[in-house]
Chains A and B, each alone.
Chain A
Amino acid sequence: MFEDQEIISTIEMVKNENLDVRAVTLGINLFDCISHDLNVFKKNIRKKIIGHAATLVETCDQVGEKYGIKVVNKRISISPIALVGASFSSEQMVEIAHELNDIAKIVNIDFIGGFSALVERGIAKGDQALIDAIPEALANTQRICASVNVATTKAGINMDAVLIMSRAIKKAAALTADADALACAKLCVFSNIPQDMPFMAGAYLGVGQADAVINVGVSGPGVVKRAIERNLAQQRLPLGRIAEIIKRTACKVTRVGELIGREVADILKIRFGVVDLSLAPTPTVGDSVGEIFQALGLSHIGVPGSTAALAMLNDAVKKGGAFASSHVGGLSGAFIPVSEDLKIAEAAQKGFLTIEKLEAMTCVCSVGLDMVAVPGNITEQVLAGIIADEMAIGMINAKTTATRIIPVPGKKAGDSVNFGGLLGKASIMNVPHLDLEDIFVEYGGHIPAPIHSLKN
């Protein structure tokens, strides 16, 4: 028995506040597909992925229909190809990417993540082959996402890998120059990458996971924004009370994700993994993290007060999610992807949000410099420096950080780019001193792991 208001508020969340399940991601372990023969390996991964995912999309749609909650994206994450394909050359890695792209089309998913390597302590033969293959693999496929973890809190930062990734990003940008460097929108460089994240482009299935697992990514910036607005319309509230409202809303949204994820997992007879409650925006009005900042009384995301507001938002989301479910994982927090969020893109375009402020905000958000388009003539040293700075934030703070930076060839600060669909559109952000060729990043080697005591 439900009260009228309970029924109406649930329907409002779906109908007017863009509550949805952003991603149901099927993680598939590919270690039992390993072979030295590329054709055998390709055949094995095709059989295993299609075997598990043949009815993924149909099942998600059925469950979404049952509950009246749309499952927007159905995706697959796989074991890092650098590990399961360690014996292959970079040319063969590109062939594997094409095979995965075909498989993604067959099972009707938009992205498959796991064209990945973990190189925080060093680069093995398979890792090098994969990284070398990334530019061509991403430029010539549509549905592959790649990620490379170059740092962890316990390992430090592999600075050789940082510079190599800077070069890989520049090369991927050049290969897709006619599409505003679209390949770079499918490539993340990580510090402390989570093994169970359902969100692209960084999703992969870690080595400690089950053979197959369903992870769910729930979003809901529109629901949080409306909850804040509704309460502030009634009375002026102190920030502690607003944090409580965000926490309660996040709790509801997480429970929706777990309900749907568990049912999908039950039907597919696959283990349920985690709910990742992340405020992941889309370029749609009413589905923006930037709008939450405005609901909190800041004229634009990026103005003074933004880092404090984001810290409160991120923490409240985590607390609400942790209360709602014992199986919360992935990133769980607030994303601030520039081009994918209407209001963040607008703040950047109007100059309220600069790349320096964005970096400061990544100290307290759940990801990092995400979907940031920069001028194509940025030097590889400056790009590597930005990546290294972001990795240091993650390493020191024992949190995930990532960069998804898109140096767009032939475009300068203020020019517009359009990546299409959920990737959105934005203005190129100004990067001060982008033509420097400082040698700091060229020294290579390792920035040692930080001390775990004497914290201040």
Chain B
Amino acid sequence: MNKMIISVLAKDRPGIIASITSDLYELGCNLENVNQMILQNQFAGFFITQVPQSLSCETIRQELSLKEKDHELTIHVRFLEEETQAPVAEKEIFLITTSGPNQKGLVAKLSSIISSFGANIVNLKAVFMGGSNPNENVMSYQVLITKEIDAPAMFAALKEKAKELNLDIRIQHKNIFDVTNKI
């Protein structure tokens, strides 16, 4: 069996997951992970699956496109390499949350700083609804920080940029959100 990742984009409607997973089942695939999200009215789904050796990425894509031809799906398929388990580095997750006036390029400006320090964004949520309510223009980055990263310098750079952009920024370790929200 080969391992593949399949991404599916579509206008959201009931039954997309049921339909795709049924197609994969009929093709002899064995699902390992599925994740989905809906942004505004658009569905995005990710499926990691074991696929019979006889099926190529292109075959899977064509078969799914054929079966779902009435549903205007955008499908991408690629092989996944099995990675050897890397040693567990000491790492911590911080939440970087900003609120303030919507402007073009906010995500690009902040994520560039995070990237320049070698930190990895493991989750990002951004909602820009405009208007004056700061809670309706919020970015929240969950950033993985390893020992090698100069976290104080990165936080200082982010605070400096936020000040320049007139954003309120909060940088807090993930555990504070755990203790206040998860019982």
Q: Can you list, as one digit per residue, whether each of B144-181 has a CB less than 8 Å from chain A (1) or not (0)?
A: 00000000000000000000000010111101110111
* Residue of B135, B173, B179 contacting most chain A CB atoms (<10 Å): B179
B95 sits at the interface (CB 8 A): yes
A6 sits at the interface (CB 8 A): yes
- A residues near B95, Cβ cutoff 8 Å: 2, 7
- B residues near A14, Cβ cutoff 8 Å: 170
Question: Complex: how many Å from CA A8 to CA B98?
Answer: 10
A6 touches B125 (CB 8 A): no
A7 touches B177 (CB 8 A): yes
Question: Complex: how many Å from CA A271 to CA B6?
Answer: 51
Question: Complex: how many Å from CA A258 to CA B138?
Answer: 29
B97 sits at the interface (CB 8 A): yes
Question: Complex: how many Å from CA A7 to CA B135?
Answer: 10
User: A1-B123, A15-B170, A68-B171 in contact; A8/B176 too (CB < 8 A)?
Assistant: no
Cβ contact of A9, chosen from B168, B170, B179, B180, cutoff 8 A: B180
Q: Using CB atoms, name the residue of chain A closest to B152.
A: A65
B27 sits at the interface (CB 8 A): no
Q: Using CB atoms, name the residue of chain A closest to B94.
A: A66
- A residues near B111, Cβ cutoff 8 Å: none
- A residues near B176, Cβ cutoff 8 Å: 10, 67-69, 256, 259
A7 touches B173 (CB 8 A): no
- A residues near B108, Cβ cutoff 8 Å: none
User: A2-B95, A4-B125, A4-B140 in contact; A10/B177 too (CB < 8 A)?
Assistant: yes
B127 sits at the interface (CB 8 A): yes
A251 sits at the interface (CB 8 A): yes
Q: 8 Å CB contacts to B: which residues of A1-25?
A: 1-2, 4, 6-11, 13-15
Could you say which interface size class chain B belongs to?
20 to 34
Question: Complex: how many Å from CA A14 to CA B176?
Answer: 11
B135 touches A8 (CB 8 A): yes
- A residues near B183, Cβ cutoff 8 Å: 251
Would you give the shortest CB distance from B119 to chain A, in whole angstroms?
Answer: 15
- A residues near B171, Cβ cutoff 8 Å: 68
B172 touches A2 (CB 8 A): no
The majority secondary structure among interface residues of chain A is helix
- A residues near B138, Cβ cutoff 8 Å: 4, 7-8
* Residue of A4, A7, A255, A259 contacting most chain B CB atoms (<10 Å): A7
Could you say which interface size class chain A belongs to?
20 to 34
Q: 8 Å CB contacts to B: which residues of A197-251?
A: 251
Would you give the shortest CB distance from B126 to chain A, in whole angstroms?
Answer: 10
Question: Complex: how many Å from CA A2 to CA B122?
Answer: 12
- B residues near A2, Cβ cutoff 8 Å: 95, 140, 177, 181
A154 sits at the interface (CB 8 A): no
A66 touches B181 (CB 8 A): no
Question: Complex: how many Å from CA A13 to CA B97?
Answer: 14
Q: 8 Å CB contacts to A: which residues of B127-148?
A: 127, 135, 138, 140, 142
Q: 8 Å CB contacts to B: which residues of A55-80?
A: 66-69
B180 touches A67 (CB 8 A): no
Cβ contact of B175, chosen from A4, A252, A259, cutoff 8 A: A259
B125 touches A256 (CB 8 A): no
Question: Complex: how many Å from CA A2 to CA B123?
Answer: 10
Would you give the shortest CB distance from B137 to chain A, in whole angstroms?
Answer: 12
User: A10-B181, A14-B170 in contact; A67/B175 too (CB < 8 A)?
Assistant: yes
B140 touches A7 (CB 8 A): yes
A256 touches B170 (CB 8 A): no
Would you give the shortest CB distance from A162 to chain B, in whole angstroms?
Answer: 43
- B residues near A66, Cβ cutoff 8 Å: 172-173
Would you give the shortest CB distance from A43 to chain B, in whole angstroms?
Answer: 38
Cβ contact of B180, chosen from A4, A15, A252, cutoff 8 A: A252
A252 touches B179 (CB 8 A): yes
23 A–B contact pairs at CB < 8 A?
A1-B142, A2-B177, A4-B140, A7-B95, A7-B97, A7-B177, A8-B135, A10-B176, A10-B180, A11-B97, A11-B172, A14-B170, A15-B170, A67-B172, A67-B176, A68-B173, A69-B172, A251-B183, A252-B179, A255-B180, A256-B179, A259-B175, A259-B179
* Chain A interface residues (CB < 8 Å from chain B): 1-2, 4, 6-11, 13-15, 66-69, 251-252, 255-256, 258-259
Known: A11-B172, A255-B179. 11 other contacts (CB 8 A): A1-B142, A4-B127, A8-B138, A9-B180, A10-B180, A15-B168, A15-B170, A251-B183, A252-B179, A252-B181, A256-B179
